[in-house]
Amino acid sequence: MSDAFPVVYLARHGETAWTISGQHTGATDLPLTARGEAEATQLAEPLAGLMFAAVFTSPLQRAVQTCELAGFGPVAEVEPDLVEWNYGTYEGRTSAEIRAERPDWQVFRDGCPGGESPEQVGSRADRVIRRVRAIGRGVLLFSSGHFLRVFAARWLGLEPGAGRYFLLGTASLSALGYEHDRSEPVIRLWNERPHERRADQGQVRGHEEKAWR
């Protein structure tokens, strides 16, 4: 893998009340929870020292807050195409509630009535990809889970629905780039969660301290 090509970092926003409840959160402009703020703050460490030609964020406050807490608020530009999937009539509903009416429903295949289809989200992702690739240097994006999963699929040249394979947790960091040349897009890092790693390290230290007592 070559380091000579630009890398696009993807940061998903931190926890909100609806990520806890599992409700679909598209245009509903929820703030981060206190835990979500802590998660977002911990994104600053792995991003420290990296150079970005541009930083873009979704206009939704959960992404903007995450961007600010990670230390990039002053240099970020709002990009409307980074907004989360429009869930239409499924906004605010859980998958279990939706499947009680439509047992075979899958957002990455079926989209949402009154909202966006996978192809429409894919078209937005394509516009962002074209903008990013035209910059030709490192870029950092702050957005939401389903959009970023479609973005990754389109970066690789896959159909938008292939985003179903790329699970993302809150306040996660991922990176897309290239291998031998720009005709070979790849995933370089996926779903790295600094706040989880720190918690795991704390548990290990706690066990070690108990073992030495």
pLDDT for 185-195, tens place per residue?
Answer: 999 999 999 98
pLDDT interval class at 208 (50, 70, 90): very low
What's the rounded mean pLDDT across residues 172-181? 96
Q: Is the pLDDT of residue 202 over 60?
A: no
- Give the C-alpha separation, 9 to 212, whole Å: 40
Nearest by Cα to 190 from 179, 174, 178, 172: 174
46-98 pLDDT, tens digit each: 999 899 999 999 999 999 999 999 999 999 999 999 999 999 999 999 999 99
Task: For tokens 């802590």, name the residue.
Answer: 38
Per-residue confidence band for 196, with pLDDT thresholds at 50, 70 and 90? confident
Judging by beta carbons within 10 Å of its beta carbon (0-12, 13-18, 19+), is residue 166 exposed, middle or buried?
Answer: buried
Residue 45, pLDDT score = 96
Whole-number mean pLDDT of the chain? 92
> What is the reported pLDDT for 212?
37
Assess whether pLDDT exceeds 80 at residue 205.
Answer: no
The string of pLDDT tens digits covering residues 97-138 is: 999 999 999 999 999 999 999 999 999 999 999 999 999 999
3-state SS track over the chain: CCCCCCCEEEEECCCCHHHHHCECCCCCCCCCCHHHHHHHHHCHHHHCCCCCCEEEECCCHHHHHHHHHCCCHHHEEECHHHCCCCCHHHCCCEHHHHHHHCCCCCHHHHCCCCCCCHHHHHHHHHHHHHHHHHHCCCEEEEECHHHHHHHHHHHCCCCHHHHHHCCCCCCCEEEEEECCCCCCEEEEEEEECHHHHHHHHHHHHHHHHHHHC
Name the active-site residue from 13, 24, 146, 195. Answer: 13
d(CA 187, CA 156): 8
Q: Mean pLDDT over residues 131-149, rounded?
A: 97
Per the annotation, the verdict on 84 as an active-site residue is yes
13 tagged catalytic: yes
**How much is the pLDDT for 3?**
60
Residues 6+ apart with CB under 8 A from 70: 11, 40, 41, 43, 44, 47, 142
| 120: amino acid identity, one letter | Q
Mean local confidence (pLDDT), 7-23: 98
| Phi-psi domain of 177 (left: phi exceeds 0; alpha: psi -120 through 50; beta: other) | beta
Of the candidates 68, 84, 91, 116, the residue annotated as catalytic is 84
- When computed from its CA atoms, the radius of gyration of the chain, rounded to whole angstroms, is 18
Burial environment of residue 31 by CB neighbours within 10 A (0 to 12, 13 to 18, 19 or more): middle
Question: pTM, whole model, 2 decimals?
Answer: 0.91
- Average pLDDT on 30-43 reads 98
* pLDDT interval class at 1 (50, 70, 90): very low
